[in-house]
Amino acid sequence: MKGNINNNNMGLGKSIKMYLTIFVATTCIYMLIYQYHMSTQEIDSNEVIKPPLYIITPTYRRPEQLAELTRLGYTLKHVTNLLWLVIEDANETSPLVFDILDRIGVPYHYLLAPMPAQYRIKRFKPRGVSNRNRGLAYIRANATEGVFYFADDDNTYDVSLFEQMRYTKMVSMWPVGLVTNTGVSSPIVRDGKLNGFYDGWIGGRKYPVDMAGFAVSVKFLLQRPNATMPFVVGYEEDGFLRSLKPLSNDDIELLANKCTEILTWHTQTKKNPSAIALNQTRYGGTNLIAIDKLLVRS
């Protein structure tokens, strides 16, 4: 009888030890899972506190519009804490543009800014100026911090550029590829400092840079209430940067590894003619009827 009691006690002790082992192991696993969860939450928190980016994109109806917005939109989708201001030169919004923007899923505002009538009759039209000035008006009314950037929809962008520009204190600049016969438009850096500009067309400009080659701090803009982009073809960038005065070369931050890398290109999608009319009689009842609604007619 005594032997049975001892055996029972030994069995009970082993059971208790086994359960304790399982309890400790389970607790350790739960602690590891909790720590991992908290670490991911911390990463998400750090993402949220990054300075916001406001990407101003002028656009207008043309055969390439939806394709170019799609390409740019899916690039911007890789960038956190960003608001995309898509501003169309039109008198009414387009359901097709709304559909593309909703499908991509980047936070956006879709606004209108038709070109003033007096400029439409000119041979050389200052495209995108009314759009960009509308974007500046939005920022002045709704933003207090962060950085804004004029990102045309026919360019190509390396996503690392957006993270670099995000911390601009005043104005930042960098090279843009595929611009004029020089192949690049870039600040000239000598001994680590801005020493001029390299561009295929200087044209008497103080700032001969491409629209894709600079970003501006929101606070810096708000301190300059008269800053605006002029309706002068070829001098839009120069006029805007001049309007940010006082602005010295020492105030300009040089990104893209001190302007030794090209992280954006002025690719300019090939222009396409308007689509010919669809033969409704021949193709009625086919998928082409739906597709036809997506095409730009002359």
Position 47 in a domain: no
Q: How many domains does the chain have?
A: 1
250: left (phi over 0), alpha (psi -120 to 50) or beta: alpha
Position 2 in a domain: no
Angle at 98 (CA atoms; ends 93, 100), nearest 5 degrees: 135
Position 187 in a domain: yes
**Can you give the CATH number for the domain in which 83 is found?**
3.90.550.10
Position 290 in a domain: no
What are the CA-CA distances from residue 124 to residues 57, 127, 231, 268 (Å)?
A: 20, 9, 11, 18
Residue-range definition of the domain harbouring residue 260: 53-265
Two tokens, residue 140? 């002045």
Two tokens, residue 80? 């956190």
- Dihedral of the alpha carbons of 68, 214, 188, 232, in degrees to the nearest 10: 80
Position 29 in a domain: no
Position 284 in a domain: no
How far, rounded to the nearest angstrom, does the alpha carbon of residue 164 sit from its chain's CA centroid? Answer: 12
Binding-site annotation: residue ranges: 154
pLDDT at site 54: 98
Position 15 in a domain: no
pLDDT at site 173: 98
Position 9 in a domain: no
CA–CA gap between residue 217 and residue 111 (Å, rounded): 22
Binding-site annotation: residue ranges for Mn(2+): 154
pLDDT at site 43: 47
φ/ψ of 232, rounded to 5, equals: -125, 110
Rg (CA), the chain: 28
CB 180 within 8 A of CB 248: no
Residue among 191, 194, 188, 155 at smallest CA distance from 171 = 194
pLDDT at site 49: 82
Catalytic residues: 237
Residue among 84, 83, 91 at smallest CA distance from 61 = 91
For each successive 10 residues of the chain (298 residues), what is the average pLDDT? 52 60 63 63 58 98 96 98 98 97 98 96 95 98 98 97 98 96 95 95 96 98 98 98 97 97 93 92 92 86
pLDDT at site 81: 97
